[in-house]
Structure 1
């Protein structure tokens, strides 16, 4: 794919030094999609990374964020299939809170993954799974944006069904008139190892 084609596809992009990075989705089979990140320099393809998630689950590349020192990617995933070495679990096991280490129970709902990437090749350095919870099962969660809050990474998102506290349990709803999806934010350490705090509109953390 040329850079012109990547640009015209509408894929999210970010500038990292002399590179322009694009994130998106490739059709792995007729019924399965996998994430992809492409890097262009001087209009030429520098590298392409397609190894983020290669299982039968549906994975997609959603967004990129660069804060001047760290590169982060946002992905979606709709379940757990295959081996940990075939998806984000290969770098998420070090998360302090257990719920952020994997997709969790159930399947079909789209959870989010925030990953720290090596800007030289796009390789995964660390990752966390983010999701809502519904009767003990994973429910949909969508990242809307990333930003820095001091040294920490702030994730702005919407949560379908109960937003999670940082320990993974459901928050308590305080506004019965609020309806799904709920505005949610969670603050992570820059290495993505630990959730520091979380809040949601109409809910008590």
Structure 2
């Protein structure tokens, strides 16, 4: 089932963030949300994840879904290892071998047993990405997940994202047009202006 955003508006106090926005996120496809800083991309993500509700309009197709997400800020358990953070959302059927392959795919093989608090920002991003990709979900929502990664690591990570989201709905927020190209996005949603 497609996710349909139907004429939503959202304000925080006097600040109108989204105004009468409509768009569709097709089932099993990759959609990139683009726009300048402050235009409402993260607000839209919060609405899709049901962490907030629109002031007007409605969103259909998310209430019965298994969603996983990468937020702009890493929401990891600081005292747990990278492996333990990922296992929090994985089924018991995932094997150590599958986890090792995932670590290797995004260049995390040397650090997976270290506590997250000891990891660099880029390493933490990749742990967050793996956690979202390895969770049992049919829709993965990522809010600027590649921020802070170098080109080589970004390329490896994109390859792994494409592999793990094949056949799933992927909603990917970026302000870099090239990321939409690298992800082979089926469509883009441009939030053009700050309302």
TM-score, length basis structure 2: 0.29
- Structure scoring higher RCO (CA < 8 A, sep ≥ 6) equals 2
The answer to which structure has the higher strand fraction is: 1
The answer to which structure has the higher helix fraction is: 2
